[in-house]
Amino acid sequence: MGFRKEVSSEVPTLVHFFAPWCLPCKTMSAMLHTINKEVQGLFNILEIDVDVKKKLGRRYTVKSVPTLLLFKNGEPLWRHVGMLEKVELKKIISELT
C-alpha cells in the first residue's frame, strides 16, 4: 500500500521516519509495535527508511531520526522528533486516536 493511501485512512497512521543505522530508531520501532498490541491496533504503523525514501523525508522536513508523524484522513495531527518514554507516547496516541 502506498504512503498517501496509508495516511489517508480513517484509522490513524503513525509514520516512523527512521534509519537502519540509528539505535534510538530501533528502540522506537519496537516500542511502537508493543504499544500497538497493547491498544489492540487502534492505529497503523508505517515505517519509512529516510536513506531509501529521501524525497518523502524532505517533503515532511525530516532532519533528524527518529521522527514520528501521526496522520488521520491524510491530515497530520501530531509530530515529534527524538525519543519518548513509552508511557508518554502511549498517552499521546490514546488521546489522538
The three cell numbers locating residue 70? 501521526
- 63 belongs to the catalytic site: no
- From the candidates 7, 22, 48, 70, which is the catalytic residue? 22
What are the CA-CA distances from residue 66 to residues 1, 6, 40, 73 (Å)? 22, 19, 23, 23
**Residue of 14, 15, 19, 25 marked active site:** 25
Q: Is 25 part of the annotated catalytic residue set?
A: yes
Positions marked active-site: 22, 25
